[in-house]
């Protein structure tokens, strides 16, 4: 498509009033990121328009549900306090571990809790990848061994030992959307990872007491977003459990 080729040639000057941040300019140096943009632009223009949002001018929030093996993409107008709206869902390509938080290196668990994207990797071994800030303060305090593990990503391909793989097609759509959110001024893109949607009571009965206690403190943050469509302000108590303001 001619317009897509033109975009890729002009990408370095098309955003940020003709003066892109060093971050986005560096991302676009990688061919796989440029290729991902050519895929993502028409897809997200359609999805966002349906929610009365515009490509390149949105904030993003991600929610993952381990039981359903789905990643939700929420968006709102950048620089506002508007509520987020659901714009897409991606299935996990595969999964590892089970329900319950990640507590040590090698347990194969996908973490549970409140995180944000801290690393964009355009040269990933798994096509493209978005690293979350695991372990956070809660994970470090509640770890069951000296090493809680690290390097948890949302990525391409279809393998995992604690990450969330979306396949190459899924991450090729999601990665540019997150780059654009960062470009639009969103310093932190939230990533909320929960055991399941809805009521977790039946699932909790099958979990050890430590996981039940953790979920009791995790759930208010889930319910807040369900009610308000905005994330609660999260802090970690001295006991390692989440608190919400």
Positions annotated as catalytic residues are: 155, 163
Whether 228 and 74 have beta carbons less than 8 Å apart is answered as no
Provide CB contacts within 8 A for 114, sequence distance 6+. Answer: 136, 190, 191, 192, 221, 231, 234, 242
Query: The tokens 């009791």 sit on which residue?
Result: 216
Q: Whole-angstrom Cα distance, residue 17 to residue 81?
A: 23
Helix (H, G, I), strand (E, B) or coil at 71: strand
Q: Is the dihedral of CA 234, 111, 127, 169 positive or negative?
A: negative
Provide CB contacts within 8 A for 129, sequence distance 6+. Answer: 119, 121, 153, 154, 155, 156, 163, 171
Q: Whole-angstrom Cα distance, residue 94 to residue 78?
A: 32
Nearest 10 degrees: CA dihedral of 6, 11, 17, 19? -140
Q: How far is CA 211 from CA 4, 68, 102, 234, in A?
A: 48, 18, 10, 19
């Amino acid at each position: 498509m001619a317009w897509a080729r033109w975009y890729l040639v002009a990408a370095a000057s098309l955003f940020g009033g003709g003066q892109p941040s060093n971050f986005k300019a560096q991302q676009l140096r990688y061919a796989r990121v440029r290729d991902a943009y050519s895929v993502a632009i028409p897809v997200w223009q359609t999805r966002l328009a349906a929610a009365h949002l515009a490509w390149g001018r949105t904030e993003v929030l991600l929610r993952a549900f381990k039981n359903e093996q789905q990643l939700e993409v929420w968006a709102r107008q950048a620089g506002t306090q508007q509520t987020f709206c659901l714009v897409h869902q991606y299935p996990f390509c595969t999964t590892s571990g089970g329900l319950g938080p990640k507590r040590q290196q090698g347990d194969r668990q996908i973490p549970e809790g409140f995180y944000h994207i801290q690393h964009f990797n355009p040269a990933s071994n798994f096509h493209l990848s978005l690293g979350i800030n695991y372990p956070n303060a809660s994970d470090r305090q509640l770890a069951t061994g000296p090493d809680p593990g690290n390097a948890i990503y949302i990525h391409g391909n279809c393998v995992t030992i604690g990450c969330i793989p979306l396949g190459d097609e899924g991450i090729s759509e999601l990665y540019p959307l997150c780059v654009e959110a960062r470009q639009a001024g969103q310093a932190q893109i939230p990533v909320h990872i929960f055991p399941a949607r809805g009521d977790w009571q039946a699932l909790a009965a099958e979990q050890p007491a430590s996981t039940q206690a953790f979920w009791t403190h995790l759930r208010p943050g889930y319910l807040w977003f369900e009610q308000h469509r905005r994330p609660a302000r999260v802090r970690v108590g001295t006991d390692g459990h989440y608190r919400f303001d």
